[in-house]
Each structure stands twice: as structure tokens, then as C-alpha cells.
Amino acid sequence: MKSRLIIADDHHVVRQGLRDMVRGTQDLEVVAEASDGIQVEEVVRSTMAELLVLDIGLPLRRGIAVLERLRASGILLPVLMFSMYPASQYAGIARRAGAQGFLGKEAHATEVMRALYQVLAGGTWFPPHAKVRPKPDAVDDPFGALSPRELQVFKALLAGTSLQEQSVKLQLSTKTISTYRTRLLSKLGLRSNAELVALAICHGYH
């Protein structure tokens, strides 16, 4: 009997790539896909599967929030997080939320398959730095990597103030604030203010 997988990612090319990898095996099959966080929960509840491959940066509801909701409702389906976000910041978060593994999207196909089989066999798949936590704050709080000025801009963004209001309050030009915003999003591996707010909520900042 083949092991059944659910793939959740908002990029069709990623879902198709994973499906093609699985299609080349004799003992795995993709039985369902989802492209946003709300759809993931619906699919998981209505589909028999042995593994969920889950992206973090899903629209409507982020992957970590989806995972926490699934675990809170008693669903123990093994989850392998598959993300473009840096493992140094997110692997530990995913693990504590209840994931059995974390794999970056830059991984070679061979590594992807090894991770799938490892988690399906009841094991885990995390990078070494997700297992050793010498600096809990750095792992627990990705915002700890921001400079004092970046933190000020971050908090202003959370408050929902306009660029002009931020400029007056921080005594910086709007161009400089935009530069800090771009820099902090890059540090956190995020793409938009919406993703920034979602991550902040996850860590109790909002």
C-alpha cells in the first residue's frame, strides 16, 4: 500500500515539482493539494493521508498557524515543513509547533525524498542547529536579529501608522524608513507587511 501525501504550497510549480518527484516512486502518492492555509485544514480533515508537506508562507493563514490549529484540535498527522524561509529562524519554531521536520526549498531532490521517507518512518528531519539551542532568545524570537532602529520601524509598522507619521515620529526621511523596512523584511525572510504582522502575532508582539 502506498503512503499518501498532502502537499500545501501557494506556488503551483512547487506542488507540481513535488508531485513529479513522488510519481517516480513505487510506494508514495500525492492524494490532495492545497494552496492556502484555510484550504489546508479543510483538506486534512477530509482526506486520509500519512504525511502533510506544508509551506510556511501560505496566504489567508500561515503554515505555522495552520499546524498549531491542527495540533490543538487533536490531529496528529505528521508534518514536514517545506519552506524558502531560513531554517536558522524557523526550524525551531516549526518543531515546537508540532512539525516532524523542516526542509528548505533549496534542497536537492535526493534530500527531499530522504526527508519524506524519514518522517513517514516515524523519525524527524531537522537541520542540526534546530536541535541545539545555545541561545533560546535567538531561536524563539526572530526579531532579536534586528538592530535597534529596525526594531523601531518594525513596531511602527505593527502600529499601522502611515509612512509620513513614521517619518515624523522617528525623525527619519520616508526614504530611509523604506530602506529599513526592506532590510528588516530581508533579515526575517519575509516578503510583505502582511507576513511581518503574521509573524509578529505568532510571537506575541501584537
The answer to whether residues 34 and 40 touch, using CB atoms and an 8 Å cutoff, is: yes
Give pLDDT, residue 28.
Answer: 97
d(CA 24, CA 176): 50
DSSP 104: E
Could you tell me the three cell numbers for 165? 507619521
Single-letter amino acid code for the residue at 175: K
Radius of gyration of the chain (CA): 18
Give pLDDT, residue 197.
Answer: 76
d(CA 1, CA 27): 7
Residue with cell 507576513: 195
- Where b means 16+ CB within 10 Å and e means fewer, 98-131 reads bbbbbbbeeeeeeebbebbbebbeeebbbeeebe
> From first to last of its 206 residues, what are the pLDDT tens digits of the chain?
899 999 999 999 999 999 999 998 999 999 999 999 999 999 999 999 999 999 998 988 889 889 989 998 999 999 999 998 888 778 888 888 899 999 999 999 999 999 999 999 999 999 876 643 444 444 457 787 788 888 888 888 877 778 888 888 888 899 999 999 999 888 888 888 777 877 776 666 65
What domains are there in the chain, each with its CATH number? 3-130 (3.40.50.2300), 141-202 (1.10.10.10)
d(CA 91, CA 13): 23
Give pLDDT, residue 160.
Answer: 75
How many residues does the structure list for the chain?
206
DSSP 101: E
Give pLDDT, residue 129.
Answer: 67
Residue with cell 536541535: 131
Give pLDDT, residue 202.
Answer: 67
Collapse the DSSP code of 102 into the 3-class scheme (helix H, G, I; strand E, B; otherwise coil) and give the result: strand
